[in-house]
Amino acid sequence: MAPPASRRAGDEAAERIISLLWLLLSAPHGLERDRIRRQVVGYEGLSDAAFEKLFQRDRRVLRAVGVPLETLEADSFEEEAQGVRHRVVRDAMLLRDLDLTVDERRALVRARRLWGDSPLRADVVRAVGLLFAPTPDLAADDELAGYHALTPRADPRLEALTQAVAEEAVLRFPYRDARGRESRRTVRAWFLTLVRGRWYLTGWDADREAERSFRLTRMEGEPRRVERAASLPGRPADHDHADLVARLAGQADAERVRVWLAPGRGQGVRAVGERVDPRAEDGAAPGDGWELWEAPAGTHEDGLAAEVGGLLGRAVPSAAEPDLARRVADALATAARAHAGPAAPALLEVPLAPPVRRRARDSSEDLVGRLLDIVGLANRADGVDRAELRARLGVTEDRLDADLETLRYCGMPERDFPGFQFEVDEEGGRVHVRRAADLAGPVRLTRPEGHSLVAALQTVADLPVLDDADRAAARSAQRRIAEAVLDAGGAAASAADDEALAEAEAGTAPTPAPGGAVAAHWDVAVDPETVRTLLAAIAERRVLRLDYRSVHADVLSERDVEPLAVVQDGARLYLRAWCRSAGEDRVFRVDRIGAAAATGEAFAPRARPARWRVHPDEAAGTPAVLRWAHRVRDAAAGYRPEAQADLPDGDRLTRVRLTDADVAAALVGRHGGAVEVLSPAAMRAHVKDALDRAVDALAAR
């Protein structure tokens, strides 16, 4: 049967790989390479080198989707054999039923939805879809129905690194540290951790001979696998992951500092601190009406020093905080010097290009895995409901149609086994796949999928807006997934050799630390009760009255809003709502909401946006070219660059749109000399004047 003329790019490869699998499944004692080469369509006519390369690639794809393969030497057989044979370990191939409770299933549905925008989405969606059918009743009356997550931020390397930490692979990559120094590092991968919206790789650094952590966005190239190095220490079973998270977060929450705030100003400080009475060591107030506030010092990048710097003289450290005062003054003075005179002509001449936005593409692993999942779910007497199948796979109608069409040309190699391809039918809204008896159920989860699912469940377990029973159910599901997939030796999805695969199959591979090798804790600093109030108002369509501390205007205002969604982006939480005061859709940072109370009024449903964005319209604002020092260039992504370029020293130039020159001055003040406005010249001059005034205000103290 000839395939249709219109085909997807990966269909031919998927058909070849599935025919290889079915050929191996038909031979319990395995098959020799020469026979495989003769019978699988697509291997014929290739040179020895080309066949070997394609055959190994196809085996890697099968392993990546969970199929356990092994290589048997001739003396492994009772009967006389001609050479090495390849076979599928059938007893270890299928996913076993975990018999999850209703509450555990609900936790998994929440994990799947919360990680819907993650680069690890495919792992989580597949894992949940295979474990059970996510029926509507599991999402009914969900407290998180109005909660949407845009985190974790996508990094194209994340999927490969998840596989690397699952197998404790050794990686080599170029890395530029916070000071801009570049080096090549060789690391045995232990953990991937999401902290404050940033991903970190932690492992044993062979060059430093110590544990080290690396921010993914500071990797200057793609990590490459190197030969397994048994001499490099593996992941410690007793590793203190809580301490690791604290170190990566740069937590200094226990340290509190005191600052003077101008009347009505410093709303960001007021949102996280408390007003205190002055002491003699605090010195005199800088002016009439100034108040003394105490707040957590926070981290160097996001803490109080940055907040005070961005206020440009409207906040002044207490006389009892000389270190903070010196740090802020030095940063503002450095920024002022950077803006003295016109920008460097060489920087203005650097060509900028639109950021590369990688589109989600179906890899061979994605397509083959999904096709096998369809077979595993539909290969039963009564088939599977089409709507259920689409929900479990997390695909559109068009993609499901294309997948079913491709499956019609899969099965045993057609040249030698005509008529033994799958029979795919739809009857009464149910999908049936026949002539596929060798796959009686879904293929088991891979180790990377298990680690991703454990991490997603950790996010749910950390959510303070859920009650104790719901969070306990997430932890229970997390333990059961870890025991069934990780501790039991899930499929190795990698290019590992047969020895490494056999080690994993035998259960002798290193056991992950509790919680898995991927961790994504919910570490958003907001008041849980405020979030509960917002989510309840969204569910009940109730108007809320907010006391809101504006980020840009730096004023406290009262707003009546119609709440639409709570959206997490990185380590921040936002409320998308229709603001009745402004008469338009607005975004409010949840940590800046001082109070939220229902007015008793209901509102009619409004049209929901296609995507829950939290950044302003790219077309609004004044275009500006900024230079971001390497240590803060991650922050540039939050301003949605229209174009950018990376400099040899690791700095980044971006063209962004800013609301006005005051916003530019606050941005520069917040980051000190690490951000510079290059153009337009008028905005640069305005920033310089604002910085000079701030330096003078601090010097007067």
CA dihedral 513, 515, 516, 519 (to 10 degrees): -120
Residue 4's contacts (CB-CB under 8 Å, 6 or more residues apart) are 405
What's the distance, CA 431 to chain centroid? Answer: 33
pLDDT mean over 433-459: 89
**Final residue in a domain of this structure, among 305, 338, 371:** 338
According to DSSP, the β-strands at 182-195 and 518-520 are: parallel
CATH code, domain carrying 648: 3.30.70
Q: Are 265 and 234 contained in the same domain?
A: no
**pTM higher than 0.85:** no
Residue closest to 63 by CA, chosen among 504, 380, 431, 551: 504
Residue 338 pLDDT level (bands cut at 50, 70, 90): very high
The answer to whether residue 29 is domain-embedded is no
CB atoms < 10 A from the CB of 677, how many?
Answer: 26
Q: What integer pLDDT is reported at residue 108 of this predicted model? A: 92
User: At 691, which helix (H) or strand (E)?
Assistant: helix 681-699
Q: Are 460 and 473 in contact (CB under 8 A)?
A: no
Contacts of 344 by beta carbon, 8 Å cutoff, 6+ apart: 678
> Which range is least confidently modeled, 60-69, 114-123, 610-619?
610-619
286 plus 207 within the same structural domain: no
Three-state secondary structure of 384-408: EEHHHHHHHHCCCHHHHHHHHHHHC
Whether the predicted pLDDT of 611 surpasses 80? no
Q: Give the residue numbers spanning the domain of 307.
A: 256-338
Question: Within this chain, do residues 662 and 585 fall inside the same structural domain, yes or no?
Answer: no
Contact 673, 629 (CB under 8 A): yes
Q: Are 575 and 534 in contact (CB under 8 A)?
A: yes
pLDDT of amino acid 496: 38
Calculate mean pLDDT across residues 666-674: 93
**Same structural domain, 590 and 550:** yes
Tell me: do 541 and 598 sit in the same domain: yes
Residues 591 and 639 in one domain: no
CA-CA distance, 37 to 84, in Å (whole number)? Answer: 14
Q: How many domains does the chain fold into?
A: 4
Q: Is the pLDDT of residue 498 over 50?
A: no
Q: Could you tell me the two tokens for 63?
A: 């392993």
Q: Is 636 within a domain? A: yes
CATH number at residue 210: 2.30.30
Assess if residue 544 is contained within a domain. Answer: yes
Residue 325's pLDDT band, with cuts at 50, 70 and 90, is: very high
Give residue 611's identity as a one-letter amino acid code.
R
**Token code pair at residue 277:** 């009475």
Identify the pLDDT of residue 1: 56
Quick one: DSSP state of residue 482?
Answer: I
Q: How confident is the model at residue 246 (pLDDT cuts 50, 70, 90)?
A: confident
Residues 167 and 241 in one domain: yes
Distance, CA of 58 to CA of 13 (rounded, Å): 9
| Helices 386-393, 121-131: crossing angle, 10 deg rounding | 140
Joined together, the tokens standing for residue 506 give 């035998």
**Residue 170 and residue 190: Cα distance in Å, rounded?**
10
Q: Which residues pair with 72 in a beta bridge?
A: 85
pLDDT band at residue 482, thresholds of 50, 70 and 90?
Answer: confident
Q: Going by C-beta distance under 8 Å and a sequence separation of 6 or more, which residues neighbour residue 480?
A: 98, 100, 104
Residue 243 to residues 187, 239, 247, 250, Cα–Cα distance (Å): 20, 9, 6, 11
In the numeric block, the tokens 């989510």 are attached to 535
Q: For 564-600, what is each residue's pLDDT tens digit?
A: 999 888 778 899 999 998 898 899 989 889 899 999 9
CA distance 315 to 672: 15
- Ranges 179-183, 271-275, 382-386, 633-637, most confident: 382-386
Label residue 513 by pLDDT band (50, 70, 90): very low
**Are 267 and 555 spatial neighbours (Cβ–Cβ below 8 Å)?**
yes
Token reading at 695: 């330096």
Start-to-end C-alpha separation, the chain: 85
**pLDDT class of 119 with cuts at 50, 70, 90:** low
Residue 465, domain member (yes or no): no
Residue 640 shares a structural domain with residue 682: yes
Q: Which residue has tokens 């119609």?
A: 562
Above 50 in pLDDT, residue 343? yes
Same domain, 282 and 317: yes
- Domain end: 571, 602, 633, which one? 602
| 584 in the same domain as 564 | yes
The two tokens of residue 677 are 């406005």
Look at residues 249, 270, 290 and tell me which one is the last residue of a structural domain.
Answer: 249
Tell me if 146 is assigned to some domain: no
Same domain, 593 and 629: no
The per-residue pLDDT for range 31-72, each reduced to its tens digit, is 999 999 999 999 988 999 999 999 999 999 999 899 999 998
Residue 649 forms part of a structural domain: yes
Q: Which of 57-66, 268-277, 545-554, 558-567 is the least confident region?
A: 545-554
Q: CA distances (Å), 640 to each of 454, 616, 626, in order?
A: 31, 9, 12
pLDDT at residue number 389: 94
CB 175 within 8 A of CB 183: yes
Question: Who wins on pLDDT, 139 or 633?
Answer: 633
In a domain, 487, yes or no: no
pLDDT above 90 (res 181)? no
Q: Are residues 548 and 586 in the same domain?
A: yes
Spatial separation of the C-alpha atoms in residues 216 and 201, rounded to whole Å: 7
Question: Is the pLDDT at 622 greater than 60, yes or no?
Answer: yes
**DSSP states along 106-173:** HHHHHHHHHTTTSTTHHHHHHHHHHHS---GGGTTT-TTTTEEE--SPP-TTHHHHHHHHHHT-EEEE
Q: Are 543 and 598 in contact (CB under 8 A)?
A: yes
State the amino acid at position 514 in one-letter form.
P
400 within domain boundaries: no
